[in-house]
A and B are shown apart, each in its own frame.
Chain A
Amino acid sequence: MFKRRFRGPVEQAAATAAERLLQAGRLLHRAETTPDLRALYRTDQGVNDAPYRERWAHDRVVRSTHGVNCTGSCSWKVYVKDGLITWETQQTDYPSVGPDRPEYEPRGCPRGAAFSWYTYSPTRVRYPHARGVLVEMYREARTRLGDPVAAWAEITTDPAKRRRYQSARGKGGLVRIGWDEALEIAAAAHVHTIRTYGPDRVAGFSPIPAMSMASHAVGARFMSLIGAPMLSFYDWYADLPIASPQVFGDQTDVPESADWWDAAYLLLWGSNVPVTRTPDAHWMAEARYRGQKVIVVSPDYSDATKFADEWLHPHPGTDAAVAMAMGHVILTECFVRRRVPYFADYVKRFTDLPFLVTLREREDGGYAQGKFVTAADAGLGADEGADEGAAWRPVLVDARRDVPVVPGGTLGDRWDENRAGRWTLDLGDVDPLLSLYGEDAESVEVVLPRFDDPSGVVRRGVPVRRVAGQVVTTVFDLLLAQYGVARPGLPGRWPAGYDDPSLPCTPAWQEQITSVPARQVTRIAREFATTAEKTGGRAMIVMGAGTNHWFHSDTIYRSFLSLLLLTGCQGVNGGGWAHYVGQEKVRPFTGWQQMATAADWVRPSRQMAGTPYWYLHTCQWRYESFSAGALSSPAGPGLFSGRHTVDLLAQSARLGWMPSYPTFSANPLTLGERARASGRDPARWVAGEVAAGRLGFACEDPDAPRNWPRVLTVWRANLIGSSAKGNEYFLRHLLGAQDGASAQEAPPDARPRDVAWRDDAPSGKLDLLLALDFRMTSTTLFADLVLPAATWYEKHDLSSTDLHPYVHAFSPAISPPWQARTDFEIFHGLARKLGELAAGRLDVAYDLVATALQHDTPAETAQPGGRVPDWREAGHPAEPGRNLPAFSLVERDYTAIADKLGTFGPLAEKLGMTVKGVTVRPGPEAAWLAARCGRAETGPAAGRPLLDTDVKLCEAILALSGTTNGRIAAEGLAALDHRCGTSSKLAELGASVAERRTVFSDTQDRPVFAGTSFEWSGKEAPDRRYAPFTINVEHGKPWHTLTGRQHFYLDHDWIAELGEQLPVYRPPLDLAALGESGQGASGDGRSVRVRYLTPHSKWSIHSEYQENLLMQTLARGGPVIWISVPDAEAIGVADNDWIEAVNVNGVVVARAVVSHRIPQGTVFMYHVQERLVNVPKSQATGRRGGVHNALTKLLIKPSHLIGGYGQLCFAPNYYGPTGNQRDAVTVVRRRSQEVSY
């Protein structure tokens, strides 16, 4: 009880009286009062505090996590009370990462903490649903015909019926059906499609396996068993940094967040860590207390900027200019004016800078950058006899002897068994010469492209010498020219100093482009390099989607990576790149891959690059009216002039570069039969048919009905609402639904030459869109069949990430409620049904499978020199696996799919499991699995270990992977030791982890450390944080590239055509100049034309799950677009006004968030704002406003289509065109504030 006091004279008197009373009370009460009578202590009164105690009480706590495509991989406690999930909090039992650094716990973010809302939410999918009109027609036909497959065939081939259900897509009208009927319809669609069109007309889409490996693998395994392609996601999401395969020959390998702690300098470049890596952000906050300096580069004052010591805000998309200028400073001050020994030593050993490159004389007298000089060119190694590998062994000059030599570790040493032990970075007594510069060195002028200026080129001299009759220089010398770093005596145009704005790449030059002060860039470059020098490379760049989602992301990233390579930061704890954009890490990789591709039963599987698939099958290419030559370098040879991008895509497919499904304009099962009937080698037979023109590629006539994709299954994903760039084209062409695009098709003179143009664009290619989900999404709204999936709190699974070193489990807190089933159960059910319907219709078939020339296999040496050996042109005979895809004939018993899905097949033991070129044989593991899981007793898989529950599938993934099974790791590292030589000590490394073993129950107990394995490039241990490429640096293991080193230089013909042999600044696309922009539907009133950026949202669970009520409440309650103060003023918009963003691709209706945090000329619409909640009808079209991707359209960068050449080769989610979307522009205007839904 507290004493009350009164005011005013009267009150004063009253107060005095009250005081007396209290004084008296003090004597009367047993309780104590403070001497100033302020407080009274009572212990005699009972209080009722029971409601909160009851509220806190619960029955049990279960470990699980979120299987969303988020890299968090946080372990959570899920609370259960009275059989219901109540809430969740983060686990706090991660094994310690060391006494001298912070810990990982508590890992988890507000989005994760809000997840349990979905369990019982009104958006939960409780029962199987189907499109009403489709079900009616199906039931009628099924009853009449008595056959599910015939019923499906009739509905999908009768144009009226087809139109009827396709045009109903996305318009409501879903009806509840039973599980049996749902699975029967789905199975009938699969059987009909496989029989009529072929298994490559079916496809599966499910991204980011690391965040629920078993749920992903079981569906992918089903697809692989039936021969359906799985579509890639990482490149399609534009999260794949193409620069990573280009530079490192690796998909993406990054440090765990605990390694940020080891960094002494941190650049956060286009990455908003507190929002996108929420559970890891504390490392950044804490590392600053260890004296780490933090620079944030971001166009807006982002959440991350709060932590910065300095904020750089270049204009969006111009980041590479900043980085090129930093490179200019570092090269000038650390390589030319002074030579930092650590840096020089690093680049000699671990980069391609000392390697020789030919220069080709041009007609204008200058020289063009050419190819790497190889042993074959230089006539080296002839004493060892002619071998094909010589063309794959680039050459450098040994400074000690001043002669060209072939160092070990190049691609020519990787695959040839005769050269075992020579694939190593150990240089022996060779000292690579970085530069040919010298007093009496000859020099020539190289014509270098520049894209910041209409002049297009700049000529600069490099020192040269002649090797085997060719004019050559080093990559380092070319790099100095590219960065404009002058050395006395070299001809050409060089900047006068840092403050010379006239020429690339000075700090003053970048200031004109980016607005960042030149002196600031200079100073930060110096600080960065100085820190790296003092710490042996502990400077790090966290790079994110803000710099990676651009059309030219690869050149942007290469300009960043160059800073790290020049300063010796890569492969060092606390240093290097930290790319955090949709990356993931299936730590138990080998096991997951075996399961997901069903390689234990059937090889090869069909793996498709997502972006070209959607670009073709949603007809987005039809709206592209510029020639691919518009992107070419002014210094390039003109390979693309007059060619449509889709022509390049077709060329890529026929050369075996990128995969292409559907592959041929015929059913691959028919082709399989014909190949068998021919009695010839199937690959030779197909090559003959193709070369003779009797068999066409489907991608050359993608709009022909026989070449359409027909059945698509989406699970663990929200394709339509989240990742579908060019969303309205998906709706129009893939689904046949209504759309909001107004773009014009390419005029006749801008159409492709090699790809057929059909005047009637298809509408509704897809017969069946099947979605598995536990909530309603944009995908389920448009799907024909929606199957109710279990949530992540209702099943067993595994999770891992690259951001922490652990593997941990999902466990069911409750059983799937209503009629929900786990993905595992659904695919097993579908497989059984498919087997039933396949009997007598498909039975055993022979499938002709075409696969691309794949990275980390000998096929990466198919096309020496990085040229374009098109068999349609003279001099290049068609040869499967060389300049054609590889072809295999695969036997499929369609009645046995379910049996194989649920057992571990024999091929893993027989042929081994190959990951990144290393093969291991899991004999002991197969025996262990049989003992642990039991064996199938009957059927086609009799005797094989059972994988008939999700737990067993998890056990298989863990048992078959090196990170979780030390025996596998040791075997793989021993195999690598064999390739790299005993000096690598890789076998010893393997022996050090051989006893480690993790089983599923371990991951249920608490998160478990993953171990070092050949599957990854870094070392890790309980006392060692993971940083990529530490195995390369510490064990001399080559990178998986042409030179075996990290590449500054790329010499493929198509790269040269784009002028991107070296890092270079390319501005954002000028869409107007490319004929890609326009106002779209017209409207009244004032408008602004702005750059349209779609960064990651703070209030949706990763790239999906925007409609969560808790998140919407903490945000603005619906779709919003962030707009700058001047832009808002220009169009008369106040905060929270309704606005419309319109371009030719579609219309978005949203509320405005006006903020001075946003720069003028740019708007942000955070990713995945779907139509689900609070989206009114558009004023411009009268139809429902679009998703965030309604304003985007796919544009393919041709260099992403390259294949067959070293690190520039396809592998799923490793190399392939990105679905970039950052270059989009839109018009924004205020709309009527009266809205209707």
Chain B
Amino acid sequence: MAQIAMVMNLDKCIGCHTCSVTCKQTWTNRAGTEYVWFNNVETRPGQGYPRGYEDQDRWKGGWRLAHGRLVPRAGGRVRRLARLFANPELPLLDDYYQPWTYDYDNLTTAPLGDDVPTAPPRSLVDGRPMAVTWGPNWDDDLGGGPGHLAGDPVLRKIGDDVRLQYEQSFMFYLPRICEHCLNPSCVAACPSGALYKRVEDGIVLVDQDRCRGWRMCVTGCPYKKVYFNHQTGKAEKCTMCYPRVEAGEPTVCSETCVGRLRYLGVMLYDADRVGEAASVPREEDLYPAQLGCFLDPGDPAVASAAEASGIPHDWVEAARRSPVYSLISRYRVALPLHPEYRTMPMVWYVPPLSPIVDALAETGHDGEEVGNLFGAIESLRIPLGYLAGLFTAGDIAPVEAALRRLAAMRAHMRRLNLGEDADPAIAARVDMEPAQIERMYRLLALAKYDE
């Protein structure tokens, strides 16, 4: 089958939140969705939005394996039906944030008084004066400090709080939309059959007519990317901008991404393999298992089978040229977000490089020097374990391999940039050909719209 998938290159993300704003302006600046950000950007380490959403012990999102079978972590149908009217695993508004506005009118209409007018905050939900104590991006740029950031579920897992000190600081940004999973637990959780995954492109949507507002999908989604519109009483979520995608335009978040880090493309996959892949016992095996579901669009047999199964020719062609496929399967630099949720997410990420740690600053550890190429990866500020906690269920090897390929690309290109001869040994050390490395460079660096 065919799926629209996205890769975000976190190494290029500047954390500007333009995607969040354009998405919100386009889709969710309405009554009932004030607190909703289909697209948000999180500083990591950080608790994210809604806070601590990655803590599935608490929120029970995604799937777990029971007796070799996938079951929703929130429990089976019986348990969920029993909780229809009181679901403790549902984030409250305060976990997202209490949306607010200000008494702006005061600035213009304040009568002559004894001080400068100001506009105090006021709740957008109930209109009452409020104190702002939480927001959708509260820990932006490490705001909140160690006390707060220690609540990051991923950081907790690796138990590295040393890196929350000034000299050891690290951070990067994680933009998030709906994962449009191959094995979506939100769809499984819906008692009304309102959530569906489109056959033609894999986009997961809520049928606004069928939705009865049970909110099981909110619990079911481990990424907390299904939201409850408190005005209409129905669930809403990222639509992958289907009205645009259907017209051949990229999603709003992709088109407006100033960091030029979002890649959209078609992935062909074998739907029959998904269930099995999502059920492999070891969580670390989920990433390779998901890779195993993808079909090589360059394989003529795959292409003809795809067309035979009704996938239009231009989609098969798009899959063949898909930058997403290249980054995920050919170059293996993109990784899934939290594969351990077993939903088979389809928004993948290139992990970020980061500066070397201060301890090495005196002598230097130049990643662009071939001799140091891989030593430098180990000296990066972002702990590999942290990235592995996000992308590979804790397995450091694939993260390290992706970072090595990025580093090798830089080392290879630096020689060309300085007018020196290419050194094929660099590519060889990451199991690539120089020409392949240059193709990857073109994809990651130039990122032309029309390519």
Residues of chain A whose beta carbon lies under 8 Å from any beta carbon of chain B: 1-7, 11-12, 14-15, 34-36, 38-39, 41-43, 47-49, 51-53, 55-56, 86-90, 92, 100-103, 105-110, 112-114, 116, 121-123, 125, 129, 132-133, 168, 170-174, 264, 274-275, 278-279, 281-282, 285-293, 296, 301-303, 305-306, 308-312, 517, 519-520, 523, 527, 531, 534-535, 738, 776, 781, 1098, 1107, 1109-1110, 1112-1118, 1122, 1124-1125, 1128, 1134-1136, 1153-1160, 1171-1177, 1183-1184, 1237
Contact = CB atoms under 8 A, between A and B. Distances in A.
Given A286-B260, A1173-B121, A534 B418 contact: yes
A1179 to B, nearest CB: 14
30 contacts: A6-B78, A7-B71, A35-B272, A52-B239, A56-B243, A89-B255, A102-B446, A108-B258, A122-B105, A129-B108, A172-B110, A279-B258, A282-B259, A286-B445, A286-B446, A287-B445, A303-B15, A303-B141, A306-B173, A311-B361, A520-B364, A531-B418, A535-B418, A1114-B17, A1115-B135, A1134-B147, A1135-B147, A1157-B142, A1173-B104, A1174-B120
Interface stretch (B84-92, B202-210, B384-392): B202-210
A522 to B, nearest CB: 9
A776 B166 contact: no
Given A171-B112, A309-B356, 15 more contacts: A42-B196, A109-B258, A264-B418, A282-B14, A285-B259, A290-B414, A291-B410, A291-B418, A292-B414, A306-B172, A306-B352, A311-B358, A776-B107, A1116-B132, A1176-B120
B107 A1135 contact: no
Nearest to A286: B445
B231 interface: no
A34 B142 contact: no
Contact of B444 (A174, A289, A309, A310): A289
A1113 B446 CA distance: 33
B138 A1174 contact: no
A11 B78 contact: yes
Given A6-B76, A48-B208, A290 B107 contact: no
B417 interface: yes
B415 A291 contact: yes
Contacts of B69: 5, 15
Contact of B27 (A52, A289, A309, A520): A52
A943 B78 CA distance: 88
B324 interface: no
Looking at B110, B166, B193, B368, the one whose CB has the most chain A CB atoms below 10 A away is: B166
B242 to A, nearest CB: 7
B132 A4 contact: no
A1134 B145 CA distance: 9
Interface stretch (B52-60, B95-103, B284-292): B95-103
Given A289-B410, A1116-B138, A106 B255 contact: yes
A580 B413 CA distance: 27
A537 to B, nearest CB: 13
A282 B355 contact: no
Interface residues of B, number: 130
Interface string B261-280: 10000000001101110000
A5 B145 contact: no
A1184 B448 contact: no
Contacts of B2: none
Given A11-B76, A48-B209, A1174-B102, A109 B18 contact: yes
Interface in B193-248: 193, 196-197, 199, 205, 207-210, 239, 241-244
A108 B18 contact: yes
Given A105-B449, A1154-B147, A1157-B169, A6 B71 contact: yes
A719 to B, nearest CB: 15
A348 B444 CA distance: 41
A55 B27 contact: yes
A1125 B145 contact: yes
A1156 B140 contact: no
Contacts of B66: 5, 7
Contacts of A1155: 141-145
A1153 B144 contact: yes
Contacts of B199: 41, 43
B304 interface: no
Given A102-B260, A1184-B116, A290 B417 contact: yes
A52 B236 CA distance: 10
Interface in B132-152: 132-133, 135-138, 140-148
B419 A534 contact: yes
A161 to B, nearest CB: 15
Contact of B271 (A39, A125, A1115): A39
B112 A133 contact: yes
Contact of A264 (B22, B115, B417): B417
B398 interface: no
B101 A291 contact: no
A293 B165 CA distance: 25
Given A56-B244, A306-B172, A310-B364, A1117 B449 contact: no
A47 B207 contact: yes
A52 B243 contact: yes
Nearest to B354: A306
Contact of B145 (A53, A290, A1135): A1135
Contacts of A90: 255-256, 258
Contacts of A125: 108
A306 B41 CA distance: 15
B188 interface: yes
A174 B108 contact: yes
Contacts of A5: 66, 69-72, 76
Nearest to A264: B417
B78 A14 contact: yes
Given A1125-B145, A1155-B141, A306 B15 contact: yes
Top 9 nearest A-B pairs by Cβ distance?
Answer: A291-B414, A173-B112, A1117-B132, A172-B110, A6-B76, A274-B14, A122-B104, A87-B25, A289-B445
Contacts of B14: 274, 278, 281-282, 285, 303, 306
A1208 B347 CA distance: 57
B252 interface: yes
A559 B110 CA distance: 51
Nearest to B134: A1136
B94 to A, nearest CB: 14
A285 B17 contact: no
Nearest to B170: A301
A291 B368 contact: yes
B180 interface: no
Contacts of B135: 1113-1117
B300 interface: no
A110 B16 contact: yes
B338 interface: no
B117 interface: yes
A172 B418 contact: no
Given A14-B78, A1135-B144, A1156-B142, A523 B364 contact: yes
Contacts of A11: 76, 78
Contacts of B397: none
Contact of A286 (B24, B78, B99, B447): B447
Contacts of A1173: 102, 104, 118-121
B121 A1118 contact: yes
Interface string B352-369: 101110100111101110
Nearest to B114: A171
B183 A38 contact: yes
Contacts of B104: 121-123, 776, 1107, 1173
Contacts of B418: 264, 291, 531, 534-535
Contacts of A308: 355
A38 to B, nearest CB: 4
A168 B16 CA distance: 40
B411 interface: yes
A254 to B, nearest CB: 20
A296 B27 CA distance: 37
B430 interface: no
